[in-house]
Every structure is written in structure tokens, then in C-alpha cells.
Amino acid sequence: MYVLVQHSISEPDAFWNSADPANVPPPLKLHHTFPTRDGTHAACVWEAESVSALQTFLEPLVGRYSRNEYFEVENREGLAMPSGVERAQAARA
């Protein structure tokens, strides 16, 4: 599954120095990291067996430097609409 993590980072230097992609154990996989310029926020796309498996890895690593919100997502790249949301029919002219 793909998991989006939104980080609100209180200590950017400590967070980014503890978040080394080279230390990610399999089967976790970090696909994308989108940090703000000042490093106080980031959105990251991961692949993991479950949200809890990713939390178990990340929280001891960066939890003291950031508030982290985890979301299971349906698409790690490109554009996607949520499969659980009913789409309205396009208006006809």
C-alpha cells in the first residue's frame, strides 16, 4: 500500500539529519519527499505493508521533532480521484 505522511516539523535541523533514506529497511520504500524550503513541513510518499508498520519505523526516528499524520492513499504518482467518492455526472449544455 502507499502511505502519505504529512510532517509538521518543530526542529528542522534535527529532523532532516535523522531522516536518512539510506537507513530505510525493507520492505519499506520511500518514493518521494516534498519539503518546504525552510524544512518545517514535508509530505512524503511511502510504500509499506501497513500504516502501523510505517509508524513503527518513523515515530522513534522523527516523532520527537515533528507531528506526523499518516494517510493510506490510492496512487503514488500522477492524478487520481478517490475510489470511495461518488462522481457527479458532467453537466450537459
**One pLDDT digit (tens) per residue for the chain, 93 residues:** 999 999 999 999 999 999 888 889 999 999 999 999 999 999 999 999 999 999 999 999 999 999 999 999 987 567 777 777 787 775 555
C-alpha cell at 34: 516534498
The pTM for the full model equals 0.85
User: Coil, strand or helix: which one is 69?
Assistant: strand
Task: Give the DSSP letter of residue 23.
Answer: G
Dist. CA 89–CA 66, nearest whole Å: 41
- How far apart are the C-alpha atoms of 40 and 9, rounded to whole Å? 5
Q: What DSSP designation does 90 have?
A: P
> How high is the pLDDT of residue 91?
56
Q: Which domains does the chain have, with CATH numbers?
A: 2-73 (3.30.70)
